[in-house]
Structure 1
């Protein structure tokens, strides 16, 4: 069997169970088809006031951290926000090399372009094996000086680049000069045993919701770029004509305190639920208990929660960014421009009023994580065969 060293900073952790769920699922499926060892490298920030990441909850886990279905080795590397950005790939690569070398892989597969993909490419070169880098979304959509330069360098030097949407593939080719023949689109799947239609009334009873309520659900990180301020603005306006409407914010993140304060200031305490981050099974229950799922992000790769929402038979109101239009059309949801609270309000109103065919929405979602793993392994094995010629 092919030996794959999978490198990533994105996996579920106790303080953020939604982080890297797509990588966890891909890695777990891939482990049934190849010998996979996952190297979970985490940036370790200094414990100083005002120094913390802006886009995710800070915190590392110990070397004994385990994730279901994965052979895992966890370690940290030191970083300073902004200051060390140019060398993060070198530092993490230095610590990664002996670990991957001991595993003796046939190929190195990294998810997240910089610094992790960069480190993986350097390690692969030193070991004389191919390197595949997977881009997930904000790792190529968020552009900044040195990060942009290092991302471009990583994409250029990798033997293959995986993207989660065709839109992202075109971005890599157009804006990062990636050779078209080495960029492969492998869109995300979903767990069919978890995300499927369930009886709405049963789910509402289990979650303590009113049987006759109308509700909207958001699932994801609480960060600015997810459009949560716009969502609260739109929801506040909707409540003027729908006083019994509820909003379920399922997740956690660095914006949680701000969101709770906005909810308080808007007198929405009885209308907005914030149950926290949770396991996929519970996420599916919240989706099925609600009427509409929304994702008003400013940017996305291939948003898995949109797939999961549709798989549960729920219509989706989402912004037309990244690969979202590859999932949503007039039969299963509504697309709107980003950063537009009025458009969001109107789309949510239309979605709540429309009679949707929930079974038909769910039936269109068929792609599994095994499908993703098969295609990923195919890219890896094609590279290995090419090297043996």
Structure 2
């Protein structure tokens, strides 16, 4: 295999910030780090930077903006591709291009196609469907057509789940170019993290931990109800770390049970491993309304932390857990099932303690392994391109 030496690495989504703490920002940065550790000379280009962009993603070039609303925002996003293309041209030449699919983002295609470069596209969701459902699209047909043009031009399309790969194939994307590459984790960060200091209210009792954005489909309302019922019959604490639309729901629970519930708010992602190590059981209570195509970072990080996981039995979770030890599932939105699963986890906790043995499956979740897959898939087309150039 001849991997690409110089790799253009692109994200034109203005909602993904170079120094951000959300899962998409973490995903983009951590894969960049792993690709560099594997020897790739990376040129990261993003639409949005932030004050701490260069420290968190060294060498990142910030190009373009898509401020505005509705159609104006979408047209600005399309126009920003010109600035991103200029950034790629200034940093080139490159052996290959890797782009995170973004609505109205065509800079990667515009750079790769005329040079006949290997072109990898990462897809994290059916973006056009999400945008129409949750935000509205002023130019829905154009959004879908441009995304499809990018996917059709790609050498390889990396999907974060098998469900997403199936959906793209059903939509007409060549299934021969589809590959599954779920969320990863920097294992060294979890292996070397100190144990965070538990909030005072949660000492001397088993602690459930929820880490992540407080979105409706993350099951926070159900978790609050299930926890309120569970604490009646046992000492139990709940530690919620994150922010989002459901913050008032979890704040109300903390006000009801100030001695058992702590809502910390969002933290820097580098603090997450230490917080995991201070907990006993990580919870991921996705509801029935959770999308089936995503790759749940909180589940992957729970496995990386070697803590027990109590999660709902939704397709994305079932795919993500593999054969990881210490996982107990319950039906989504099922309070009785949650209580039984909790009893099982607390019994195991009492018997063997909070830390699980390492596993081969856990070790397979590293970003380094993900980066190796990317470079391996790009190797043959890079080799073919170099052979053509030499000839």
Q: Secondary structure at the match of 1:90?
A: helix
Q: Which residue of 2 aligns with 1:162?
A: 158
Give the deviation of 1:91 after TM superposition.
2.2
Alignment match, 2:5: 2
What RMSD, in angstroms, separates the aligned Cα atoms of the two structures? 3.2
Pairs within 5 Å for 1:216-365: 216-242=208-234, 244-256=235-247, 258-263=248-253, 267-297=256-286, 298-299=290-291, 301-328=294-321, 331-340=325-334, 343-355=337-349, 358-360=355-357, 364-365=361-362
User: Does 2:29 align with 1:24?
Assistant: yes
- Correspondence 1:66 to 2:54: yes
Give 1:322 shift: 4.8
Partner of 1:49: none
CA contact (8 A) 1:313 1:361 kept: yes
Q: Which stretch has the larger CA shift, 24-33 or 186-195?
A: 186-195
Q: In 1, distance between residues paired with 2:128 and 2:191?
A: 31
Name the SS of the counterpart of 1:193 in structure 2: helix
User: Displacement of 1:30 after TM fit?
Assistant: 0.8
Equivalent of 1:185 in 180, 188, 213: 180
CA distance in 2, matches of 1:249, 1:109: 35
Question: Contact between 2:101 and 2:147, CA under 8 Å: does it hold in 1?
Answer: no
Which residue is equivalent to 1:37?
43
Change (3 A) 1:127 1:255: farther
Q: Which residue of 2 aligns with 1:213?
A: 205
* Distance in 2 between residues matched to 1:330 and 1:109, nearest whole Å: 30
Q: How far apart, CA to CA, are the structure 2 residues paired with 1:386 and 1:336?
A: 49
The question of whether the paired residues in 1 share the 8 Å contact of 2:251 and 2:263 is answered with no
User: How many Å separate the matches in 1 of 2:375 and 2:217?
Assistant: 32
Q: Deviation string for 1:232-274 (max 9, x for gaps)?
A: 22222222323x3211112233443x2354336x613332222
Give CA deviations for 1:164-198 in whole Å, capped at 9, x if unaligned. 23333223223x32211111122333222222498
Q: Is the 8 A contact 1:162 1:183 kept in 2?
A: yes
Q: TM-score, normalised by structure 2?
A: 0.79
Conservation of the 8 A alpha-carbon contact between 1:17 and 1:279: no
* Structure 1 CA distance for aligned equivalents of residues 109 and 334 of structure 2: 40
Residues 17 and 187 of structure 1: CA distance in aligned 2, closer, same or farther (over 3 Å): closer
How far apart are the structure 1 equivalents of 2:301 and 2:227? 22
Aligned to 2:368: 370
* TM superposition shift of 1:19: 4.7
| Residues 301 and 286 (structure 1), Cα distance of their counterparts in 2 relative to 1, 3 Å cut | same
Q: Distance in 2 between matches of 1:325 and 1:128?
A: 39
Segments of structure 2 that go 5 or more residues without pairing to the other structure are none
Structure 1 351/82 Cα, relative in aligned 2: closer, same or farther at 3 Å? Answer: farther
Task: Report the Cα offset of residue 31 of structure 1.
Answer: 1.6
Residue 155 of structure 1: how far off its partner (Å): 2.2
Q: Distance in 2 between matches of 1:348 and 1:66?
A: 43
- SS for the counterpart of 2:264 is coil
